[in-house]
Copies of this chain bind each other. A is one copy, B any other.
Amino acid sequence: MGRPAVLLLLLALLTPGVAIPVPPAVKALSSLRWSTGFTSRHFTGAKYSVHYILQKVDHFGFAVDKTFKQRYLIADEHWKKDGGSILFYTGNEGDIIWFCNNTGFMWDVAEELKAMLVFAEHRYYGESLPFGNNSFKDSRHLNYLTSEQALADFAMLIKHLKRTIPGAKNQPVIAIGGSYGGMLAAWFRMKYPHMVVGALAASAPIWQFGNLVSCGVFMEIVTTDFKKSGPNCSESIRRSWDAINRYSRTGAGLGWLSEALHLCTPLTNTQDVQHLKVWISETWINLAMVDYPYESDFLQPLPAWPIKVVCQYLRNPNVPDAQLLQNIFQALNVYYNYSGQASCLNVSETTTSSLGTQGWSYQACTEMVMPFCTNGIDDMFEPHSWNLREFSDDCFKQWGVRPRPAWIITTYGGKNISAHTNIIFSNGELDPWSGGGVTKDITDTLVAITIPEGAHHLDLRARNAFDPTAVLLARSLEVRHMKQWIKDYYANLRKKH
């Protein structure tokens, strides 16, 4: 899989013929990567220790009794044995150190909650590879890469921590995660309520499955972000696709296009153009996910409210194709060349190695089947319908497995989850993933927090001087809920003794 992870979503989303299945949460994660540099000031110098636990490769069968080493991190600087708590990050599809370094919220609240921080790596990512280098070899080796196995790992780990760390046994544990990790946090509370007193599920699109939400909602939110960030911005992008198509008809056109967009590698055929459009679409999606209110350090640095900056170049859709595409270049250039260092734009730019692209590709082909579509009317993209059959065939070609698109709903309840308690679903309204998230309270204890000016799990990011009031409020609500869960836990404990 030499292909860049950033392309994967749209390769699958917009070009159903490409044999790479949808890996949306890899995309979801991209935002985390971007923030590395920025949040470091909050916990540079904060210490964590690295640990390993032997886990069964298969929690749900006994024929394979093999084990593997799961990695996890502990930061206990602020932990108090008396009245403390354990914040447990339910690791998602990437290197756990990367998540640890990019979830500043946990570090910021550790002292107030007297909390031990635990970051558990998801199997098949980072160093937690059940079969080492062979882990992605074939469907037989990948067979234990499921959300259920990951949740079972978390449960075993919590038991282990409680058994082995003096003082941890009678402390409340809270699951915290963002994006796919947020789904895992919510699902963990649903399936193992005896293990955690509650869960903070940030930007967790638990309803981005089956037909729980419209397949178009994701791209509609991306479009809205651009529409609101500058006059005619989304319209300019909508018109750009045909402009590209018109230029792509001839060799000369391809040459002009390659030059106008300052591509490092000139376009030579239709497939290159297809990739180009996917790469551009992906850029708009990325921008929507990480449209944060302050300057942040991405692969290249980005300005505050980057979409607004991008849209300054896209005010006039009614210009000739050449002008429109030169404007598009300026817009892309904000994202890829804010530092001014790049001499050309690389459409096959690879993503950070912290992302487990192979693993997520497999997960998207099995359990995590998220339908996406565009119609070009409610969104600013070229129309593409969701085609499960083609998707399934691609998965079979690539991994030798077929997706079971209804399974996640069957096992985790879909929209019928009101029997559960103590889950916070937080979403940023700018975040395209909020379309598949829980944005309204379900019950008194299954609560939704929305952050109007928030992009992808802004609330999990470290404190920042430019944080809008809404995210400060969200975080303080989250802390209030967590404190209540902790208080209830200790009250029950006292009652028992």
Binding site for B on A (CB under 8 A): 56, 59-65, 139-140, 142-144, 146, 148-149, 152, 155-156, 159, 191-194, 366, 400-402, 404, 406-407, 410-411, 413-414, 416-421, 492
| Apart from the given pairs A62-B146, A191-B191, 7 other A-B contacts in the complex at a CB distance below 8 Å | A62-B404, A63-B400, A64-B143, A155-B410, A193-B420, A194-B416, A194-B417
Asked whether A60 and B63 contact (CB < 8 A) given A194-B413, A420-B193, the answer is: no
Q: A144, B401: Cβ atoms under 8 Å?
A: no
Asked whether A159 and B60 contact (CB < 8 A) given A194-B419, A419-B421, the answer is: no
Q: Which residues of B are found within 8 Å of A56, using beta-carbon distances?
A: 404
Q: A146, B61: Cβ atoms under 8 Å?
A: yes
Give A363 Cβ to nearest chain B Cβ, in Å. Answer: 10
Give A404 Cβ to nearest chain B Cβ, in Å. Answer: 7
Q: Which residues of B are found within 8 Å of A146, using beta-carbon distances?
A: 60-62
**Stoichiometry, copies per complex:** 2
Q: Which of B63, B144, B156 contacts A142 (CB 8 A)?
A: B63
CA distance A159 to B406 in the complex (A): 10
Give A402 Cβ to nearest chain B Cβ, in Å. Answer: 7
Q: Which residues of B are found within 8 Å of A191, using beta-carbon distances?
A: 191
Q: B142, A59: Cβ atoms under 8 Å?
A: no
Determine the main DSSP class of A at the interface with B: loop
Q: Which residues of B are found within 8 Å of A194, using beta-carbon distances?
A: 413-414, 416-417, 419
Q: Which of B60, B143, B159, B420 contacts A149 (CB 8 A)?
A: B60
Give A491 Cβ to nearest chain B Cβ, in Å. Answer: 13
Q: Write the chain B residue with the least CB distance to A60.
A: B60
Asked whether A62 and B366 contact (CB < 8 A) given A152-B411, A413-B193, the answer is: yes
5 closest Cβ contacts across the A-B interface? A193-B419, A194-B413, A63-B143, A194-B416, A62-B401
Q: B407, A59: Cβ atoms under 8 Å?
A: yes
Q: Which residues of B are found within 8 Å of A193, using beta-carbon distances?
A: 413, 419-420
Q: Which residues of B are found within 8 Å of A59, using beta-carbon distances?
A: 407
Q: A402, B62: Cβ atoms under 8 Å?
A: yes
Give A81 Cβ to nearest chain B Cβ, in Å. Answer: 21
Q: B410, A63: Cβ atoms under 8 Å?
A: no
Q: Write the chain B residue with the least CB distance to A402.
A: B65
Q: Which residues of B are found within 8 Å of A419, using beta-carbon distances?
A: 193-194, 421
CA distance A411 to B153 in the complex (A): 11
Q: Which residues of B are found within 8 Å of A400, using beta-carbon distances?
A: 63
Give A2 Cβ to nearest chain B Cβ, in Å. Answer: 24
Chain B CB count within 10 A is highest, among A142, A152, A401, A410, for A410
Chain B CB count within 10 A is highest, among A62, A155, A401, for A62
Give A88 Cβ to nearest chain B Cβ, in Å. Answer: 15
Asked whether A143 and B366 contact (CB < 8 A) given A193-B419, A194-B413, A413-B193, the answer is: no
CA distance A144 to B56 in the complex (A): 16
Give A197 Cβ to nearest chain B Cβ, in Å. Answer: 9
CA distance A82 to B109 in the complex (A): 52
CA distance A62 to B144 in the complex (A): 9
Give A187 Cβ to nearest chain B Cβ, in Å. Answer: 11
Q: Which of B60, B139, B159, B492 contacts A62 (CB 8 A)?
A: B139
Q: Write the chain B residue with the least CB distance to A366.
A: B62
Q: B144, A411: Cβ atoms under 8 Å?
A: no
